[in-house]
Structure 1
């Protein structure tokens, strides 16, 4: 291979963010760095266990990239959409965006960004695929749900900007997603291709507002999703592979100067139509700078990289297109001190994580977010000490259960693993029992299940619902309900304190 080909391959490799294979450095991940010279790596759930493990992994990855790889520090990215603790044990797990939207406090939203940046950088993650700035104005949206700050475009813009500032002012790259807006879709792009069949005027006035706001705020990255927008590209090409949307709209019309990142290219919104190799080529032609290439194995990773290199050699992708992205990537790495002269490895420090002030920020948000509905009253569990309560709950709500049990040690605790089991538990409740029903679900619940649930709750002497999920599930429920939006530990603690007045 001649020098010119090597230079081309190395520049293309900087455009890839491959998924790391496993929780420790193994031969497959080593191949991504030493043979493919990848410029970025993505840490999925299989690579994220606890703070010490992630720090050890990222330290080895950076060292390998510098000594046997490209010689350039890596973009190391993750989906820390609710703090590093939403994926990594030992870090702060913040309430999801919908709960932050309910709290509607910009200063606290900023603090979640600051703390997430501090903890993420301390474990070696420098690029966060967050925040979600989709406007969730469709109650039946199957994928965004509580990941969104809400249905109010102004609120989404304000809080999204606050989080972006919190990340970037403290050294971590923020990514506003999922352009051009995934909030009003009926289809999950993990499974198929959603179509935003709205007029350009409607999109301009609603979906695009938070992205324009994020651009004006200085967001350094925007993730383009896999959805068709016929008003902009009548061919129904996914936005992530569409020149009209990625370059024409985002880069030129909206004048975005930062990094354009694709959503995961293994999602079925892409692979139902294209091979991942072809998707990579089309994404580069569309104008993407970073290809989130979630390969199944090293062979597929190498094949994707080779496909882009070959497309340049054959003239399908202009060399100038690669140079543009390479230049943006290197300028961003310079800005975030990810160049050989500027980069300094971090030393693991336990004291950085879960600081008392950080945990208090999460609790402040949770207290502001808690929303009583249908006559729900604080302290309801202590109104009559002789009442026999039964708690029916998801297994993930252990923190909530412990909080309730501190004040009501004799409460009966029943665990459920499915919606069907929840109904069966209610049907088998003894007469005279009072029910606390607690469930967590970040996607819309089925209307027919909610109707059956309401009927069963009418049979019990007294029933209350603590809902760690979407407000769309409980708007017309007719049962005393405490809406908590999400199952983050701070929200569980707050719900228990609300019921017991602890």
Structure 2
């Protein structure tokens, strides 16, 4: 019954968000009198806090381990080496930490939903043991698509560019609502999503398919819809990366990108999605570690720029919520200043939450020294603490229990109707770019298939990779499949093996992943085409791959390689569903980027 109720709420709310145009659906801000009474209550909490406790509220560090108090010995050793404590409970106690962020993989925070829920309860027990007991705001980067933290057991949904291809505000809303509902059941109340960057640079190495697309108006509508979906589910949404990371060829994790847009270009291209997020009531906005000379000629990173954070975001755009820094361990914010100064300058610029400092002790004591010296006043500190307590209060952390129940995890996370909705959304996003001589759907006589090509591991499960899962999905649809994962850089012997395997097959399905001008994946596809066996191409990440491949008879884009998207692509290949996706970005010719090979909005169906 709970699943059915969730589904009904999602459908009804989706209809509401579409009818309202995906803006302002959350309604007006709290009435002044109500907001005043709330702030009076929160200021009393602040008045009981020490300087040290106030500073701790600002930090959102990482940590290692699946348990708050008893992680593995390996994770304890890593915590001790990097954080100076053995457990996250000790980290919270030592620095009065106000929030933490979970990561899968390298940080080993996430195994399965029940473990995440228990970890969250342990974090909250540690937070409530502080001298001023304030629950932690637990955060995560659960964008879906290419950027997923919670995999096994939770519903996997299409990512931003796939949703952009679907062009459905109801689907964008539903994806946010479903994801938000599951995160809330795990005790996670802040999600660093959606991405509000407009991906106008096909060579963008860090945003790319994490963006809804290249059209500022379309991106704005999708961002507003997804913000509303998350926040209707009780999640603090976070639009990122302000003032816009969509037109860069450099990754701010490894360098300091420069956005060369004029002020007019910024107003036209980069600003609209953030304005739409603010109009939709977004509770937090994340900064970008990049230079925008037209907004701040000092060329400080936006994260450290008063002109950008205070002048543009707060004063011009009127954003009064929480400003979160992007991770402070990234190279883009560390090129000019030391790790003790970066958090201080971010606060002086207007930031509130300080995410992922590379050295929590250095960062915390840097801010403490700045407050004691008067460089940062206590009033300025209180401003940020008040904004953080507001979103904690909105999330119900200050008025109800912060703990979550295993029964809610079982009932909500990975619910059957959630998974069904995700599958249907994925079907509406799969995009058919080329279909010469009606190669697709594969005819009933073409039953012997070879599935070959790049096979990236699933974002949260390295034991499952693209090619065998796609072959499995096609096999379940009635095809006789063999498969060969050739990787992103197949050598000559591997390509020869793929060509040999293609002979005698009725068709070949070849996957690609980020094909460049010198990529061996181009050679693989060319050699497969030369066999005379019909070739179906599937770009499992970038829709731009087709520009590098010449004349393939059929080509699709799935925008990611998670299971929900691969299985949807398999159903399209088999003709079980009609492709409905439309490119949310233009695809330029590889040999002449000034010429458009496929315009944004292009997408074929079997009925064209």
TM-score relative to the length of structure 1: 0.92
Change in CA separation of 1:360 and 1:86 when aligned onto 2, cut-off 3 Å: farther
Q: Are the aligned partners of 1:392 and 1:425 in contact in 2 as well (CA < 8 Å)?
A: no
Distance 1:241 1:476 in 2: 39
2:473 to 399, 403, 420: 403
1:498 corresponds in structure 2 to 572
Q: Distance in 2 between matches of 1:344 and 1:209?
A: 35
Name the CA distance, whole Å, in 2 between partners of 1:329 and 1:280.
16
- Is 1:51 the counterpart of 2:113? The answer is yes
Q: What is the Cα deviation at residue 436 of structure 1? A: 2.8
After TM superposition, give the deviation of residue 426 of structure 1 in Å: 5.2
Mapped pair 1:79 → 2:141: yes
Contact 2:325 2:353 in 1 (8 A): yes
Native 8 Å contact 1:48 1:54 kept in 2: yes
Q: 1:57 to 1:482 in 2, by over 3 A?
A: same
Deviation at 1:500, TM superposition (A): 2.4
Partner of 1:457: 528
The corresponding residue for 1:486 is: 560
Aligned partners of 1:157 and 1:209 also within 8 Å: yes
2:476 equivalent to 1:381: no
Q: 1:210 aligns with which of 265, 273, 296?
A: 273
* 1:302 equivalenced with 2:361 (yes/no): yes
CA distance in 2, matches of 1:135, 1:208: 9
Check if 1:16 corresponds to 2:59: yes
**CA positional deviation for 1:474:** 1.4
Structure 2 vs 1, CA of residues 245 and 423 (structure 1 numbering), >3 Å: closer, same or farther? farther
- Report whether the alignment pairs 1:199 with 2:262: yes
Matched, 1:368 2:425: no
Distance 1:309 1:4, change over 3 A: farther
Q: Summarize deviations over 1:69-116 as a string: whole Å, max 9, x none.
A: 640011100001018965332001101111000011111111111111
CA deviations over 1:212-253 (Å, ceiling 9, x no partner)? 111111100000010100111112111001111111111111
Does the CA-based 8 Å contact 2:295-2:308 persist in structure 1?
Answer: yes
Size of the aligned set, in residue pairs, is: 492
CA shift in 2, pair 1:411/1:69, >3 Å: farther
1:161 positional shift: 0.7
Per the TM alignment, residue 409 of structure 1 is displaced from its structure 2 partner at its CA by 5.5
Residues 346, 216 of structure 1: CA spacing in aligned structure 2 closer, same or farther, 3 A cutoff?
A: same
Partner of 2:386: 327
Find out whether 1:346 has 2:404 as its counterpart.
Answer: yes
Q: TM-score, normalised by structure 2?
A: 0.77
Task: After TM superposition, list the pairs within 5 Å mapping 1:71-150 onto structure 2.
Answer: 71-82=133-144, 86-150=149-213
Runs (4+) of structure 1 exceeding 4 A deviation are: 3-6, 83-86, 376-379
Task: Tell me the distance in 1 between the aligned counterparts of 2:512 and 2:100.
Answer: 31
Map of 2:235 onto structure 1: 172
CA contact (8 A) 2:339 2:362 kept: no
Matched, 1:66 2:128: yes
Q: CA deviation at 1:378?
A: 7.3
Moved more, 142-151 or 407-416: 407-416
Alignment equivalent of 1:439, drawn from 501, 511, 530: 511
Greater Cα offset, 257-266 or 60-69: 60-69
Change (3 A) 1:56 1:63: same
Name stretches of at least 5 consecutive residues in structure 2 with no aligned partner.
1-45, 70-85, 458-464, 577-608
Q: CA deviation at 1:30?
A: 1.8
Aligned residue number for residue 355 of structure 1: 415
Are 2:66 and 1:30 equivalent residues in the alignment? no
1:367-410 Cα deviation digits (max 9, x unpaired): 1111112216575433434x753211416224322111234564
Please state if 1:418 is matched with 2:480: no
Superposed CA RMSD: 2.3
Deviations 1:93-140 (A, max 9, x none): 101111000011111111111111110011111000000010011111
